[in-house]
Amino acid sequence: MTHLLIIGGSDAGISAALRVRELDARATVTVVVMDAFPNFSICGLPFLLSGEVTDGRSLAHRSVAEIEARGIGLLLEHRAESIDPRSRIVRVVSAGGRPREMAYDRLLIATGAESARPPIGGLDLPGVLFLRTMTDGLAIKSHLDREKPRRALIIGGGYIGLEMADALTHRGMDVTLTEFAPEVLASLDPDLGSLVRTELGSRGVRVVTGVAVSGIERVDGGLLVRAAAAVDIPADLVLVATGARPSVALARSAGVALGTAGAIRVDRTMATGTPDILAAGDCAETWHRLLGRADYLPLGTTAHKQGRIAGENLLGGAREYPGSLGTQVVKVFDLVAARTGLRDKEARAAGFDPLTAALTAWDHKAYYPGAREMHIRITGDRGSGRLLGAQIVGHRYSEIAKRVDIIAAALFHGMRVEELCDLDLTYTPPLSTPWDPVQTAALEWCARISSR
């Protein structure tokens, strides 16, 4: 009988365990979970904290009972401390400090990522919080309910920072957001990021960009965040949202090689190079389908898919991960920003000769009530015409995610920009236009190429 051990009970780990169980009813599979929350939607935490989601239990994709009913063993509130790949033993420690050794035939490391801690003082002060895990989220909720802070300062203008600016404003707090870069949401072109900044400002969020936080101090009545250029911002709560880094201490203990961005190096079968040890999810590299090389894209969608591949290969399979494109979307109040593939500067750095066409289009026929403008940017390679990426910003009801998903599907299949115009997409005046906005952008790109 094959003994499979999975370290980590979030998206990749549980996806792998479920795939094992689908394929082999005889294999024993055990998942070691650091906390008491296996298979929870971490992405839903900002909406729990805003109050829009009222029950944290609803964030569970599956309950413990449902997982165990599939024949999957769960070892909750146990931390894996070390791996000995020679003896194939993992040493784990319970929350109460009791050690235990667990043998395996094959092992999956799915330890995820952890909050990046910027090099500033005061990160351990009461009221300075991070958001990465269910435990983090519940601690923040408890702090909000107990202390009832009025002023929040968020360090970091990425996806989590923006969603939490929305969430805390929704709770009635005064929110300030600081970002080191010149504009929020650095994964978009700056002028598109400025649209997000305008939306934040219209909802009362104070946005301070181009400044580095130098420290956090405890003062009478709360916290004081010190930044460059003599910027001092008082707050009752500080949320540090400066990104994530792969959690690889366990892998390092086994001598597993690290690669891009310090993540675990894997091939497309999710194998690490250390015999019978695989890795998947936010702790591991991913194959970038456009770049044709390893990259680090810590996304829930990627983790689910990698976990499924890893689960199959834990049983001796050799299925390869087809690759990611960095497809992402975020809602900030009534604005949605999404992207997939490569931006112009990213494409140029990768050796392409990119051309980017930008336009503003109606999300549906302008004569039908409620039409709203979408800001679309589409990038392709000048020589080959190959589609390389897109960015779209618009209203939350403008089907932004649907439009970017069209581009993502086209990218996945290596289509040229011109071929977007051939797609048979839906049309009715309340929902779209005869040439969908995605196709209008493609037509604009083709016109610019033809006029060269």
Average pLDDT over residues 196-203: 98
- Answer whether 245's CB lies under 8 Å from 262's CB: yes
| Total of domains in the chain | 3
Per-residue pLDDT tens digits for 435-444: 999 999 999 9
pLDDT of residue 8: 97
Q: Are residues 106 and 249 in the same domain?
A: yes
Phi-psi region for residue 230, left (φ > 0), alpha (ψ -120 to 50) or beta? Answer: left
Residue 327 within any structural domain of the chain: no
SS3 of 281-319: CCCECEEECCCCEEECCCCHHHHHHHHHHHHHHHCCCCC
Per-residue pLDDT tens digits for 19-36: 999 999 899 999 999 999
Per-residue pLDDT tens digits for 368-380: 999 999 999 999 9
Place of tokens 């604005």: 335
Q: How far apart are CA 289 and CA 267, in angstroms?
A: 13
Domain that holds residue 389: 334-447
Residue 387 within any structural domain of the chain: yes
Report CA dihedral (217, 172, 209, 246) to the nearest 10 degrees. Answer: 70
Per-residue pLDDT tens digits for 123-155: 999 999 999 999 999 999 999 999 999 999 999
Where does the pLDDT of residue 214 fall: very low under 50, low under 70, confident under 90, or very high at 90 and above?
A: very high
Where does a domain end: 242, 262, 292?
242
pLDDT of residue 157: 96
Residue 319 within any structural domain of the chain: no
Active-site residue, from 43, 283, 421, 446: 43
DSSP 419: G
Q: How far apart are CA 307 and CA 325, in angstroms?
A: 17
Residue among 193, 215, 50 at smallest CA distance from 125: 215
> Residue 43 catalytic?
yes
Place of tokens 């957001």: 177
Sign of CA dihedral 185, 189, 191, 196: negative
Average pLDDT over residues 259-288: 97
Residue 174 within any structural domain of the chain: yes
Token pair, residue 376, equals: 């679309």
Residue 42 predicted with pLDDT over 80: yes
Where does the pLDDT of residue 450 fall: very low under 50, low under 70, confident under 90, or very high at 90 and above?
A: confident
- Answer whether 308's CB lies under 8 Å from 292's CB: no
Q: Are residues 68 and 164 in the same domain?
A: no
Kindly report the number of other CB atoms within 10 A of residue 265's CB atom.
18
Backbone φ, ψ for residue 89 (5° rounding): -125, 135
Tell me how far CA of residue 47 lies from CA of 50, 153, 167, 260, in angstroms: 5, 18, 6, 31
Q: Are residues 183 and 103 in the same domain?
A: no
pLDDT of residue 2: 81
Instruction: Give me the CATH number covering residue 304.
Output: 3.50.50.60
Q: Are residues 236 and 249 in the same domain?
A: no
Counts for the chain of helices (H) and strands (E), in that order? 11, 25
Token pair, residue 71, equals: 């024949």
Residue 27 within any structural domain of the chain: yes
Backbone φ, ψ for residue 21 (5° rounding): -65, -30
Per-residue pLDDT tens digits for 236-256: 999 999 999 999 999 999 999
Residue 1 predicted with pLDDT over 80: no
